[in-house]
Amino acid sequence: MTQTATIIGGGVIGGGWAARFLLNGWNVRVFDPDPEAERKIGEVLGNARHALPMLYDQALPAEGALTFHDRIDEAVEGAAWIQESVPERLDIKHKVFAEIQAACDAGAVIGSSTSGFKPSQLQEGASRPGQIMVCHPFNPVYLLPLIEVVGTEASDPALLDRASNLLRSVGLFPLRVRKEIDAHIADRFLEAVWREALWLIKDDIATTEEIDNAIRYGFGIRWAQMGLFETYRVAGGEAGMKHFIDQFGPALAWPWTKLMDVPELTDELAQKIADQSDAQSGHLSIRELERKRDNNLIAMMRALKQQGAAAGRLIAAHQKTLDLPPVEETPMITVRRTVPVDWTDRNGHMNEGRFGQIFSDAAEIVMDVAGAGEDYIAAGGSYFTVENTIKFLAEANAGEPVEVRTRVTDGEGKKLRCFHELVRTSDDTLLATSDQLMLHVDMKTRRTSLPTPEVAKRIAAFAAAHKE
């Protein structure tokens, strides 16, 4: 049964939450009195539809239904997840929570996107305080996986666990914060960097662009895949973390930073920052910057996925929970996915080498369903490609949904021959074909051999069923 999420507040963060749930197959209801809410969420959703599917090597679930509601009680009735993303004013949040709890199920998760308030502050005066928790995301919510989950002694432990499991089911990473604290964990780091950056600008030491360059060309890349402490452990060399602390710890006593002091954000300083930011990025619209950000995040996270590290490991684990294409059909649907941005070349379309990869992925699915998958290979048998003729018929571009339709055309003896068709599913355009001949190989001798009788029988059955 399709689950329902309700989003209260449809700004940038609320829109990101809506997109994350919607693109993972949930029905989503939105309440926001802003008359522009539907347009704004539509624009966020457009970016999310372009971006999120490109992280995965198979298709996400079919989208849920998105509806907009004029009343909170209608929006929250029967919802399993309710996410509050209204302005950071405690009085507004308390009013919204009261309206939510008057109409929602007692077992529903009520999460708050607050970046600053503690859950105990949110729970003040609530009819069911244990139902309300902090679920603080990072923008864009549809791509960045971190959600800081914070409860209190009044929180229902079972509900916190269920919230974490639901977040994992849509590809997010719930970080359970042990004790409530102002600004949780991640924003405290961001605040420290922000304060230091303000001083560097105020004192004319660096511009906004120079500060951004220091981050994106240096430690920002390291942090993206190792975080803070693992990065410094490596910096300690063979002697490890203790050596690093002994070597660099004394620097903590030096007056390097002004973290305990905050520059006054005068009109002059604010204008200085704004002018430098305009010079840095003013030639791009916000939507263009968002698309640039999303494409960069996709390429980086896909690289991490290939290495099985950090956010990439999370994506790979979530991908395993997604439904595979219906290979029992004729022709087999062996691949169903979106063309990722890191598969494109200087012409802006899919590189010819990636056509070979997607057809290779399709052949591996045929092997899997024939019983010649990873266990079979580990036992000493596999199929190697000896000939592949690819015809390129039309362009495939980043963000386009595609599928591979496969027929087994020869399954006699050592042979496994497949004819693949790569199709853009949005308009059924045939993009490329592949006539691929594989031979069965003994993995010990690396020479051709006959498959096991069970595999041979399945492949012969495919060939018979796929005759036109």
User: If residue 201 lies in a helix (H) or strand (E), which one and from where to where?
Assistant: helix 186-202
CATH of the domain at 127: 3.40.50.720
327 part of a folded domain = no
Within-domain flag for 78: yes
Q: Do 226 and 267 belong together in one domain? A: yes
Q: How many domains does the chain have?
A: 3
Q: Which of 250, 283, 316 is the last residue of a domain?
A: 283
Q: What's 179's DSSP letter? A: S
**For residue 450, is it within any domain?**
yes
Residue 74 lies in a domain: yes
Instruction: Examine the domain organization and report whether 268 and 410 are in the same domain.
Output: no
Torsion, Cα 69 71 74 75, to 10 degrees, reads 50
Spatial separation of the C-alpha atoms in residues 386 and 185, rounded to whole Å: 54
Same domain, 153 and 210: no
Q: Tell whether residue 15 is among the known ligand binding residues.
A: no
pLDDT score of 268 more than 90? yes
Query: Which pLDDT score is estimated for 248?
Result: 80
State pLDDT tens for residues 376-390: 999 999 999 999 999
Question: Per the domain annotation, does 312 fall within a domain?
Answer: no
Region 390-416: what's the mean pLDDT?
Answer: 97
Check whether 147 is labelled as a binding-site residue: no
Is residue 288 a part of any domain in this protein? no
What is the tens place of the pLDDT at every residue in 417-430?
Answer: 999 999 999 999 99
CATH number reported for the structural domain that contains residue 443 in this entry: 3.10.129.10
Residues 132 and 271 in one domain: no
pLDDT level of residue 219 (50, 70, 90 thresholds): very high
Same domain, 228 and 360: no
Domain boundary among 149, 176, 203: 176
Q: Which of 176, 205, 229 is the last residue of a domain?
A: 176
Do 423 and 443 sit in the same domain of this protein?
yes
451 is a domain residue: yes
Q: What is the pLDDT of residue 150?
A: 98
Backbone angles phi, psi at 119, to 5 degrees: -60, -30
The secondary structure element, H or E, covering residue 385 is strand 381-392
Asked if residue 353 belongs to a known ligand binding site, the reply is: no
Averaged pLDDT for residues 142-166: 97
pLDDT classification of 174: cutoffs 50, 70, 90: very high
Arithmetic mean of pLDDT, 270-295: 95
Query: Any binding-site annotation on 236?
Result: no
Interval 335-363 mean pLDDT: 97
Full strand arrangement of the beta sheet holding 66-69: 66-69, 27-31, 4-8, 81-84, 109-112, 132-136, 146-150, 173-176
When the pLDDT of each residue in the chain is averaged and rounded to a whole number, the result is: 96
Q: Which residue has the tokens 């000896």?
A: 386
Residue 13, marked binder: yes
- Residue-range definition of the domain harbouring residue 250: 186-283
Bridge partners, 434 (sequence order): 390, 420
pLDDT at 255 over 80: no
Is residue 249 over pLDDT 90?
no
Query: Are 13 and 153 contained in the same domain?
Result: yes
CATH label of the domain that carries residue 265? 1.10.1040.10
Was 130 annotated as part of a binding site?
Answer: no
Residue 51 belongs to some domain of the structure: yes
Indicate the pLDDT class of residue 301, thresholds 50, 70 and 90: very high
Q: Which pLDDT does position 250 carry in this prediction?
A: 81
pLDDT at 165: 98
